[in-house]
Structure 1
Amino acid sequence: MNLRKTLLAASIATLPMVLSAAVHAAPQSAPVMAAPVSAQSPQQVDALFSKLAARRGKTGLDASHGYKVTVQHPGVTGTRITRANHTYKGLRVFGSETVIVSSDAGEILSESSSHLRDKLNAGKDSKSGFNTAPALNATAAIDKVTKELAAGGLHHVPPSAELLIYPVVKTVRTAAAANKQEGALNALDVEDVVDRYELAYLVQVRMLQGQNPIYYDYIVSAKNGVVLKKWKALQTVAGTGNSQYNGTVPLNTSQSGSTFSLKDPSRGTGGTYGMMAITNANHGTSPGSVYTNTTNTWGDGQQYNGGSTTNANGQTAAVNAMWGLMNTYDMHKNVLGWQSLDGQNTATFIAAHVNTSYDNAYYDSGCKCMYIGDGGSMFNNLGSIDVIGHEMGHGITDATSGLIYSQESGGLNESSSDIAGESTEAYARGGGTGTTIPSGLNDWQMGKEIAKNGQPLRWMWKPSKDGRSPDAWSTSIKNLDVHYSSGPNNRMFYFLSQGSESSSSSEKYSSYLNKQPLAMTGIGIDKAYRIWFKANSTKFTQSTNYADARNKVLQSAEELYGVGSKEAIAVKRAYAAINVGADVDENPGPGTGVSITTQPASINVSAGGTATFTVGASGGTTPYSYKWYRNGGAIPGATSATYSFTAQAADNGAVFNAVVTDAANPPTSATSQNATLTVGGGGTGTERVTNGGFENGTTGWSGTTGVIGAHQGQSPYEGTRFAWLGGNGQSATETLTQDINIPATSTSATLSFALHIDTAETENVVYDKMVVTVKSTSGAVLGTLATYSNLNPASGFQIRTFNLLPYKGQTVRLSFAMTEDQSLQTSFVVDKVSVIAN
């Protein structure tokens, strides 16, 4: 969506306005984002979507449901991020999208999706389709909005009307919270569900009444013209240069002959001016021309006096803008590896002196640029470091998650910019160099420097100090202006960074923190911003709300620093402090929680042998629960004190450990030491299958390879990837094959694989089946090993083994072939395929 992002609250009348060590060790240094990546070719995009389409039926969606790429940007080195809108019969489903992290080779590494389309003709047996024919045309929808907003206004940008499907969402309680009092509800006690779908237009109008911008987005019914939703789209907030707020600062400028210009050739490429630039709007609403000067000394460091915008006093606003832009760019690039706003190093610009005595600043996603006012009755020039960092933060959100600027997602959008502003301020105050954000240098007060009365726009540690922003989540938060609904998340980030205090008289106290210690411990602004940035750029969708944000920020902390790490625990506590999720203890203290008494031992087994690991625990409250991990990733179904499996050659060097959790409220956990598996010592068996665990994607396999991946809706036997054949709920045929050689000298050859079957079929009739065969390389069937069907469902995985010695001396084709009828899914989930030949 093309939105303008604003900093200032709409109240301004003049504006339009755990307890254990980490399960896997944190990296020595946090990973950084990759350099700009080229856009994927149409063929690569098609291949990616083919893999998504292969999963479509497994989530109850039919062929009318599709995807449309909206954004591609770098992920961490070796990966890229693709965001795709969900479509139905070619129309966008508003707010519903998928975020895909893929390798440079095109393999899907993770997928984060909103589910606003899931009830749109869900299931394969739907008889009628959603009607996509509008009764109202786009022109009529635009006219309706224009007349309602500003009948006498002028369009600053041509209006647009996009026909789409709008999910009308309602908030309902979870079953567990059905009897709770309203005031006792936590953000995780409710969920947003789709009540119905409406064919509608997203009407975007960008108008001016005089110099007053009127920017709105409307959702208008395409059936009868009724306004279903509306929200403000103007999202407001700010060589050698003499800066108003930062003293004498170095500026990167360009020179042509004897003329200098405020164009920075070292930051960003392309864009409107080929590099980062500052322009002079000269009291208008258009960018104007790039600032030039006959010397390379700029500004007088004083508040603009209303005279010339090009003399030394007029240049000061441009100095403020350039210094803020340079530091925002440098912080993100040097700390995170993220280049410019979009990660692709596309240059942006800032227009100074917008309008006359304008008490605001805003980001415009149409030009991907920022406008700053000189200030009027309430503010001085809006070019302070935190304000510019805030507005550029809107540009990053616009290029990544695109959080819808309304209700809870709008509050998170605003908060994300406040977070970026404070992080930029801390980096700049620390000298603007280095690969970390220093703590203790920012003031945690948004816009304090620009306010004529010395009062900031927002207090991060105590949002309610402004008289309108809440300190914690409640069911009414979605009804607030987004500048106020941002408050709880701002407080969360402050606590995550700096910690809280235990005295109820302190402004940094939260009554929701009721575990030990009452004063939670912060992790510093550097780690906190890395976690937030990762969540916003790789996990958030347009419709993410507070509950979803908490879960995805926690996932990001666990991926960066480890499951059970102090950073992950701090995320839980920081969100608990704003009534999103339950509080947890930071440390159980000696003797008060569960502890490991028997560590799993490293072992050496032959290929084809059984590997067994055991953990013992004591203390805390019984009974215990167990979770085993392989190379830091959870092993599905491994929930006993002992974990056993058939070892393959590919398992050599794998590292295992366990987390034991007790039954206390809240529970305490302990993490075991690592144990290493060595495969091959004392044995002569050789693994003949390539990539039998599918962890290397489709390597080694042929056929319907889109069934291979880390699919949502099913779990692997171990690792992260598996092959999911079936599960479509409609007529389908899927096959996986691999050619293997069994030497003529073999004395044994054993095929094994893990298989899980579940089904929606209810009759005692075979409708769906998977046949495992051995074929010649030309495709002739040499033998049928097994046939499985919807009549063979089983809880969890079953290990299946077969003798392949009769095929020694041959290169044969191992085949898994699935056929599914027209309705009611059956899933055949295959993992850990192995052929050991001695």
Structure 2
Amino acid sequence: MTPLYARHKRTTLAIATAVAAGALLATGVTTGASAQPATGKAAPLAAAPQLLSNAARTALVKEKQADAAETATQIGLGTKEKLVVKDVVKDVDGTVHTRYERTYAGLPVLGGDLVVHTSPAGKTEGVTKAHSATIKVATVTPKITVAKAEKQALTAAKAAGSDKTAADGARKVIWAGGATPVLAYETVVGGLQDDGTPNKLHVITDAATGKKLFEYQGIENATGTGKTLYSGTVSLTTTLSGTTYSLTDASRGGHKTYNLKHTTSSGTGTLFTNTTNSWGTGTASSSTTDVTAAADAAYGAQETWDFYKATFGRSGIKNDGVGAYSRVHYGSSYVNAFWDDDCFCMTYGDGSSNTHPLTSLDVAGHEMSHGVTANTAGLNYSGESGGLNEATSDIMGTGVEFYAANSSDVGDYLIGEKININGDGTPLRYMDQPSKDGGSANYWSSSVGNLDVHYSSGVANHFFYLLSEGSGSKTINGVAYNSPTYNGATLAGIGRAKALQIWYKALTTYFTSTTNYKSARTGTLSAAAALYGTSSAEYAAVAATWTAVNVT
């Protein structure tokens, strides 16, 4: 589970995965802004992803799975290792990037994911691995009992606020997240965290010594008229059945918006329906029947779907044309939001006094982008990879906001500026100078991975802003920014549209579950090289911008 910001036990607030989040349409850019409008109508780059039909994607997945054994041999895997296709990306020029999960002696290898890059002629051109060492363990027979592993996981979950007395399940795995692969147990514990956020804690335990190796949260996070709280009056695609309308968007994978009525249920809740095709009042109400929050959530899902499709040719979060669903009115006065990949859904709390729902446009984009990350690179939600996971949602949530070109919520490089979660009108995060939130890192250091992922994300957020807009003082869409650099360099920026394309390509074809900031530099340079060439200004800008945030 990935929430919008860090739980209340933290010293300050920071946006999380659950709120936890591209051809962009930028308007009103002023004074020195380098952002470029992107309408999605320009000729596609040769290395940009194709928009595949569901049938074409399914056929390509089957083809790659049929060839998986041969591929495993070609790239030098051992006889006990097998590959399972997770995703495929086909570029305009015919290059195919196949993302695989790996097994060893029939056990899943956590941290063993990899991407094989194949030329249009079918030749393997390279492999990007989460773990480069050979996967090999002396035995797949554990020395400790599963009960001991479960007890350890329950203790960790209790520290996070869960009152569960039994684990939801445990399985044997190969843990490849460290220097040497080991046999381990992966135990999952449910329940609720101390602030009411659902708990889905994954604990990895060495099956020989009983030592805890790793832990992470798995909760990451007809045309009607919507009168929203944050985005004004908008058009919503709905469904009419008989004489009843519902917040069901058949044109976007069947996305539905449900009402949890201030419960913390793990179910879907009640689908929003109405006898007219008008949704919300434009103001918030603490009532469980309030529809305004639902209108905001449905609009956010709609714009996020359209952003990914127009910008990257991606059809839905899994790129399979299937819509997620949204749940509003979660808990009572719950001040957070989250994405959960297991239910494939976004969930929004109503904020303080149940009158400040966390359903703004950039939060919605942030949420669903956690789903995209889960179904592509799968960045572990801990350490530096967790910071990159959070930053990806901030980056794409920002992309959604600019893409929507909504006059009531104009595009900016502020995160959560509409929801007033701090109570003083300030945003949750600042991409131009992340440290302004009081906790986020502007630049990389050896200790950045020890920060909460909502703060370590600052390095990548700063990188994205500088790559898009450049350094120094400027005003964009009426918002003033002043972005510094670690080395004092002056950067011009290449425009947001190009920066989004580079980040998305890196995420979907070069990042893996264990990517850290150094590897992110390598991955984005590979993406820039594929899209624009190694001698391009864009490639040079990516290198210079990482240096400007102290990632070398």
Query: What's the TM-score bracket when you normalise by the shorter of the two chains?
Result: 0.7 to 0.9
Q: In the alignment, is the contact (CA less than 8 A) between 1:384 and 1:447 conserved in 2?
A: yes
Once residues 460 and 103 of structure 1 are traced to their aligned partners in structure 2, the CA distance between those partners, rounded to angstroms, is 36
Instruction: Say whether 1:510 aligns with 2:485.
Output: yes
SS of 2:379's partner is coil
AA in 1 matched with 2:213: L
SS of 1:162's partner is strand
Q: In the alignment, is the contact (CA less than 8 A) between 1:73 and 1:343 conserved in 2?
A: no
Once residues 398 and 164 of structure 2 are traced to their aligned partners in structure 1, the CA distance between those partners, rounded to angstroms, is 35
Instruction: Say whether 1:96 aligns with 2:104.
Output: no
SS of 2:154's partner is helix
Q: In the alignment, is the contact (CA less than 8 A) between 1:32 and 1:335 conserved in 2?
A: no
Correspondence for 1:290 among 238, 260, 271? 271
The equivalent of 1:572 in structure 2 is 543
Once residues 373 and 155 of structure 2 are traced to their aligned partners in structure 1, the CA distance between those partners, rounded to angstroms, is 31
Once residues 461 and 157 of structure 1 are traced to their aligned partners in structure 2, the CA distance between those partners, rounded to angstroms, is 45
Larger radius of gyration: 1
- CA deviation digits over 1:117-168, x for unaligned, max 9? 51545xxxxxxx5222112333442243224423995669972323122246
SS of 1:552's partner is helix
The equivalent of 1:213 in structure 2 is 198
- CA deviation digits over 1:486-512, x for unaligned, max 9? 110000000000111289xx8412132
Task: Report 1:266-415 matches (<5 A).
Answer: 266-268=251-253, 275-284=254-263, 285=265, 286-303=267-284, 305-307=285-287, 309-310=288-289, 314-376=290-352, 380-415=356-391
Q: In the alignment, is the contact (CA less than 8 A) between 2:51 and 2:315 conserved in 1?
A: no
Q: Percent identity?
A: 36
Q: In the alignment, is the contact (CA less than 8 A) between 1:9 and 1:483 conserved in 2?
A: yes
Correspondence for 1:34 among 38, 47, 51? 51
SS of 2:347's partner is strand
Q: In the alignment, is the contact (CA less than 8 A) between 1:379 and 1:450 conserved in 2?
A: no
Task: Report 1:120-519 matches (<5 A).
Answer: 120-121=135-136, 130-150=138-158, 159-167=168-176, 169=178, 194=179, 196-208=180-192, 211-235=196-220, 239-268=224-253, 275-284=254-263, 285=265, 286-303=267-284, 305-307=285-287, 309-310=288-289, 314-376=290-352, 380-429=356-405, 441-451=410-420, 452-501=423-472, 507-513=482-488, 518-519=489-490
The equivalent of 2:478 in structure 1 is none
Once residues 497 and 246 of structure 1 are traced to their aligned partners in structure 2, the CA distance between those partners, rounded to angstroms, is 25
Q: In the alignment, is the contact (CA less than 8 A) between 1:96 and 1:113 conserved in 2?
A: no
Q: In the alignment, is the contact (CA less than 8 A) between 1:112 and 1:540 conserved in 2?
A: no
Once residues 462 and 135 of structure 2 are traced to their aligned partners in structure 1, the CA distance between those partners, rounded to angstroms, is 37
Q: In the alignment, is the contact (CA less than 8 A) between 1:74 and 1:344 conserved in 2?
A: no
Q: In the alignment, is the contact (CA less than 8 A) between 1:39 and 1:72 conserved in 2?
A: no
Correspondence for 2:518 among 528, 547, 561? 547
Q: Is there any run of 5+ residues in structure 1 with no aligned partner, and where?
A: 18-26, 122-128, 170-193, 269-274, 433-439, 582-838
- Superposed displacement of residue 475, structure 1: 0.7
Once residues 495 and 296 of structure 1 are traced to their aligned partners in structure 2, the CA distance between those partners, rounded to angstroms, is 43
Correspondence for 1:8 among 2, 5, 28? 5
Once residues 414 and 508 of structure 1 are traced to their aligned partners in structure 2, the CA distance between those partners, rounded to angstroms, is 20
Once residues 43 and 531 of structure 1 are traced to their aligned partners in structure 2, the CA distance between those partners, rounded to angstroms, is 27
Deviates more, 1:536-545 or 1:74-83: 74-83
The equivalent of 1:71 in structure 2 is 86
Once residues 460 and 240 of structure 1 are traced to their aligned partners in structure 2, the CA distance between those partners, rounded to angstroms, is 32
- Superposed displacement of residue 75, structure 1: 2.7
The equivalent of 1:743 in structure 2 is none
AA in 1 matched with 2:51: A
Q: Measured at CA, do residues 468 and 350 of structure 1 come closer, stay the same or move farther in structure 2, by a change above 3 Å?
A: same
Q: In the alignment, is the contact (CA less than 8 A) between 1:10 and 1:483 conserved in 2?
A: no
Q: Measured at CA, do residues 535 and 43 of structure 1 come closer, stay the same or move farther in structure 2, by a change above 3 Å?
A: closer
Q: In the alignment, is the contact (CA less than 8 A) between 1:34 and 1:79 conserved in 2?
A: no
Once residues 209 and 330 of structure 1 are traced to their aligned partners in structure 2, the CA distance between those partners, rounded to angstroms, is 33
- CA deviation digits over 1:265-309, x for unaligned, max 9? 1111xxxxxx11111111122321211001001100112x322x3
Once residues 563 and 209 of structure 1 are traced to their aligned partners in structure 2, the CA distance between those partners, rounded to angstroms, is 47
AA in 2 matched with 1:511: Y
Q: Is there any run of 5+ residues in structure 2 with no aligned partner, and where?
A: 17-41, 475-480
Task: Report 1:553-564 matches (<5 A).
Answer: 553-564=524-535
Q: In the alignment, is the contact (CA less than 8 A) between 2:130 and 2:513 conserved in 1?
A: no
AA in 1 matched with 2:260: A
Give the number of the structure with larger relative contact order, counting CA–CA contacts within 8 Å between residues 6 or more apart: 2
Once residues 12 and 300 of structure 1 are traced to their aligned partners in structure 2, the CA distance between those partners, rounded to angstroms, is 34
Q: Measured at CA, do residues 28 and 259 of structure 1 come closer, stay the same or move farther in structure 2, by a change above 3 Å?
A: closer
Once residues 534 and 148 of structure 1 are traced to their aligned partners in structure 2, the CA distance between those partners, rounded to angstroms, is 36
SS of 1:251's partner is strand
AA in 2 matched with 1:113: T
Once residues 377 and 259 of structure 1 are traced to their aligned partners in structure 2, the CA distance between those partners, rounded to angstroms, is 31
Instruction: Say whether 1:524 aligns with 2:503.
Output: no
- Superposed displacement of residue 334, structure 1: 1.2
Q: In the alignment, is the contact (CA less than 8 A) between 1:9 and 1:457 conserved in 2?
A: no
- CA deviation digits over 1:320-367, x for unaligned, max 9? 001111100001111211111011111111011111111000000001
Q: Measured at CA, do residues 431 and 455 of structure 1 come closer, stay the same or move farther in structure 2, by a change above 3 Å?
A: closer
Q: In the alignment, is the contact (CA less than 8 A) between 1:218 and 1:231 conserved in 2?
A: yes
AA in 1 matched with 2:416: G
Q: Measured at CA, do residues 502 and 267 of structure 1 come closer, stay the same or move farther in structure 2, by a change above 3 Å?
A: closer
Once residues 42 and 156 of structure 1 are traced to their aligned partners in structure 2, the CA distance between those partners, rounded to angstroms, is 41
Which TM-score applies when normalising by structure 2? Answer: 0.84
Deviates more, 1:559-568 or 1:317-326: 559-568
Once residues 96 and 146 of structure 2 are traced to their aligned partners in structure 1, the CA distance between those partners, rounded to angstroms, is 36
- Superposed displacement of residue 116, structure 1: 2.4
- Superposed displacement of residue 225, structure 1: 2.6
Q: In the alignment, is the contact (CA less than 8 A) between 2:157 and 2:189 conserved in 1?
A: no
Q: Measured at CA, do residues 117 and 555 of structure 1 come closer, stay the same or move farther in structure 2, by a change above 3 Å?
A: closer
Q: In the alignment, is the contact (CA less than 8 A) between 2:167 and 2:187 conserved in 1?
A: no
After superposition, the CA RMSD in angstroms is 2.9
SS of 2:234's partner is strand
AA in 1 matched with 2:261: N
- Superposed displacement of residue 548, structure 1: 0.8
Once residues 147 and 323 of structure 2 are traced to their aligned partners in structure 1, the CA distance between those partners, rounded to angstroms, is 35
AA in 2 matched with 1:76: D
Point out the structure with the larger helix share: 2
Which TM-score applies when normalising by structure 1? Answer: 0.57
Q: Measured at CA, do residues 40 and 297 of structure 1 come closer, stay the same or move farther in structure 2, by a change above 3 Å?
A: same
Q: In the alignment, is the contact (CA less than 8 A) between 1:411 and 1:483 conserved in 2?
A: yes
Once residues 165 and 546 of structure 2 are traced to their aligned partners in structure 1, the CA distance between those partners, rounded to angstroms, is 41
Residue-pair matches, total: 505
Q: In the alignment, is the contact (CA less than 8 A) between 1:502 and 1:519 conserved in 2?
A: no
Instruction: Say whether 1:536 aligns with 2:507.
Output: yes
Q: In the alignment, is the contact (CA less than 8 A) between 1:378 and 1:453 conserved in 2?
A: no
- Superposed displacement of residue 209, structure 1: 6.6
Instruction: Say whether 1:86 aligns with 2:102.
Output: yes
Task: Report 1:740-819 matches (<5 A).
Answer: none
Task: Report 1:528-677 matches (<5 A).
Answer: 528-581=499-552
Q: In the alignment, is the contact (CA less than 8 A) between 1:375 and 1:381 conserved in 2?
A: yes
